[in-house]
Amino acid sequence: MTGKRRALLALEDGTVFSGISCGVPGETTGEAVFNTSLTGYQEVFTDPSYAGQIVTMTMPHIGNYGVNGADMESRGVFAAGFVVRELSSMASNWRAEETLREFFVRHAVVAIEGVDTRRLTRHIREQGAMRAVLSTEDLDPASLVAKAQAAPGLVGRDLVAEVAVKEHYTWGAEMPSDCDLPVDTGVLSVSPHYRVVAYDSGVKYNILRRLAEHDCEVIVVPPTTSAEEALALEPDGIFLANGPGDPAAVDYLYRTLRELLGVKPVFGICLGHQMLSLALGAVTYKLKYGHRGGNQPVKNLLTGRVEITSQNHGFCVDFASIGPLVPELCGELTLDPTDLGAWVRAGVAPVVRSERFGPVQLTHVNLNDMTVEGVRPLEIPAFSVQYHPEAAPGPHDARYLFGAFTRLMDGCEDIFGDIFGKG
């Protein structure tokens, strides 16, 4: 162990984990969360939704296949820090361009290895996500715990501004200036059929790649873009991206969205789903420790099929808060709209009435904890999912949703039913 720099991770409840620094020296604060994906650490580390968080991977071996430019999910690293059990000393894969250690140094990331990450994960599971400090400089546990307690939490915090682009750009054609890597844009259409305005609240590149692959010209705009500005770009549809922080704090975005709903077809992912739900009148709440991983089972209540999904969210939508149940649109079933498990067992997608936008259907439910994973207003062209159909990392089961979006822009009624699984 000699010659190695020690590092400590302290949680606000006083729990301290010891390990070895495997990034740059420094100190960082954030909310401690865990991700259970077995592959795709690079995509996780470059996902802007992790801004303000210190991420631990439950997979003990991290870095085995190195890092490469094509797997970047944004222009850099936004998470506050990383905690791993063992960082690979080498990169073994034909696609590898550098080791993860080199990548951490290049991106000035504070990271720690040698930690009992399972203990940390169990602790977060039992106690909930909490504020933490990761340091290679201050190795006094008491001092670190005090810093963790003084750190800001995520509730009420808007982190979107920190990660979003400042000026709009067209994916593939004119990339933003602060994007120094050669970005893998995916397959671009020469003469795209659809034009989509994508509100960037921390969008993952793979969403843009998937949209482009589905024949969309994607204009990425800052989250503060007004409805008029967006409509001036003459889009066929509006896309709302994933992003970090507390969705309720991003009120300007869902207020803008209210002006667009019913005007243009809308598709939202993750934070975008929360934006749509908030626009429809829902409230959001913080989950105890969130959903982060690539193995979350989600049931599509319209097809009855289960998708294995990629997820990364700490906040969640309360479906019943959108409005009262509409039994005539639920096969006259009058189950409790807050008990989503009951609806799953009944095989019926419940519908509630939004005061402003009319009936809203629950389309997707997480089978692990029976929380909301997708909604769809029935009278205006929009839908959204809490999980990540673009995967990266994770399974491709939900890719069909990008096809559903193009069908929505085509004016189709049945956007999910007959195309499931062919996306």
Partner 1 sequence: MPRRDDIKKILLIGSGPIIIGQACEFDYSGAQACKVLREDGYEVVLVNSNPATIMTDPEFAHRTYVEPVTPSFVEKVIAVERPDALLPTLGGQTGLNVAVALAESGVLARYGVELIGATLEVIKKGEDRKLFAEAMARIGLDTPEGGYAYSIADAEELVGTVGFPTVIRPSFTMGGAGGGIAYNVEELREIVTSGLALSPVGEVLIEESVIGWKEYEMEVMRDRNDNAVIVCSIENFDAMGVHTGDSITVAPAQTLSDREYQVMRDASLAIMREIGVETGGSNVQFAVNPRDGSLAVIEMNPRVSRSSALASKATGFPIAKIAAKLAVGYTLDEIPNDITHMTPACFEPSIDYTVVKVPRWAFEKFPGTDTTLTTRMKSVGEVMAIGRTFKEAFGKAMRSLENGRAGLGADGKDVFDEDRFDHMLAVPNEQRPFYIAEALRRGRAIEELHELTHVDPWFLDQIRQMVDGERAVSGTGLAAMDAEDMREAKRMGLSDIQIAHLTGTVEAEVRTTRLGLGVRATFKSVDTCAAEFAATTPYYYKTYEDEDEVAPSDRPKAMILGAGPNRIGQGIEFDYCCVHAAYALSDMGYETIMVNCNPETVSTDYDTSDRLYFEPLTFEDVMDIVEAEKPAGVLVTFGGQTPLKLAHALEQAGVPILGTKPEAIDLAEDRKRFSGVLDRLGIAYPAAGTAYTIDEAVEVANRIGYPLLVRPSYVLGGRGMVIAYGEEYMRRYVEQAASVSPDHPVLLDRFLEGAIEVDVDAVCDGESVYIGGVMEHIEEAGIHSGDSACCVPPFSLGADTIEHIKSHARALALELGVEGLMNVQFAVKDEHVYVLEVNPRASRTVPFVSKATGVPLAKVAARVMGGEKLAEMNLPDEDRDLGRFCVKEAVMPFGRFPGTDSTLGPEMKSTGEVMGVAPDFPAAYAKSQLAIDYSLPGEGTAFISVCDRDKRSIVPVARHLVQLGFRIMSTKGTARLLRASGIAVEEVAKVHEGRPNIVDAIKNGDVQLVINTPFGRETRSDGYHIRTAAVQHGISNITTLAAAQASALAIEAMKDGRLEVIALQDFGGDV
Residues belonging to the active site: 270, 388, 390
Pick between residue 1 and residue 187 the one whose CB is nearest to partner 1.
1
Rg (CA), the chain: 21
Q: Counting contacts by CB under 8 A, is residue 395 touching partner 1?
A: yes
Q: Counting contacts by CB under 8 A, is residue 284 touching partner 1?
A: no
Which position among 21, 29, 58, 256 is part of the footprint of partner 1 (CB under 8 A)?
58
* DSSP for residue 144: H
Binding-site size, partner 1 (CB under 8 A): 55
Q: Counting contacts by CB under 8 A, is residue 294 touching partner 1?
A: yes
Pick between residue 114 and residue 377 the one whose CB is nearest to partner 1.
114
Four-point Cα dihedral 302, 303, 306, 311, nearest 10:
-40
Four-point Cα dihedral 24, 28, 33, 39, nearest 10:
-20
Record the tokens describing residue 303, joined without a space.
């097809």
* Alpha helices in 251-311, H assignment, sequence order: 251-260, 271-280
What is the full DSSP assignment across 181-220? S-----PPPSS-SEEEEEE-SS--HHHHHHHHHTTEEEEE
Pick between residue 118 and residue 193 the one whose CB is nearest to partner 1.
118
Pick between residue 59 and residue 380 the one whose CB is nearest to partner 1.
59
Binding mask 99-138 for partner 1 (x = CB under 8 A): -----------------xxxx-xx--x-------------
CB contact at 8 A, 196 and 218: yes
Instruction: Please report how close the Cβ of residue 92 comes to partner 1 at its closest, in angstroms.
Output: 4
Query: Burial letters for 173-207: b for 16+ Cβ neighbours within 10 Å, e otherwise?
Result: eebeeeeeeebebbebeeebebbbbbbbbbbbbbb
Q: Tell me which stretch binds partner 1 (CB under 8 A): 278-286, 296-304, 329-337, 407-415.
A: 296-304
Q: How far is CA 269 from CA 98, 191, 346, 360, in A?
A: 31, 25, 26, 17
* C-alpha span between 419 and 14 (Å, rounded): 51
Q: Tell me which stretch binds partner 1 (CB under 8 A): 86-94, 245-253, 256-264, 374-382.
A: 86-94
Instruction: Please report how close the Cβ of residue 40 comes to partner 1 at its closest, in angstroms.
Output: 3
Q: Counting contacts by CB under 8 A, is residue 170 touching partner 1?
A: no
Binding site for partner 1 (CB under 8 A): 1, 17, 34, 36-40, 42-43, 58-61, 64-65, 68, 70-71, 85-86, 88-90, 92-95, 116-119, 121-122, 125, 293-297, 299, 304-306, 308, 367-369, 391-396, 421
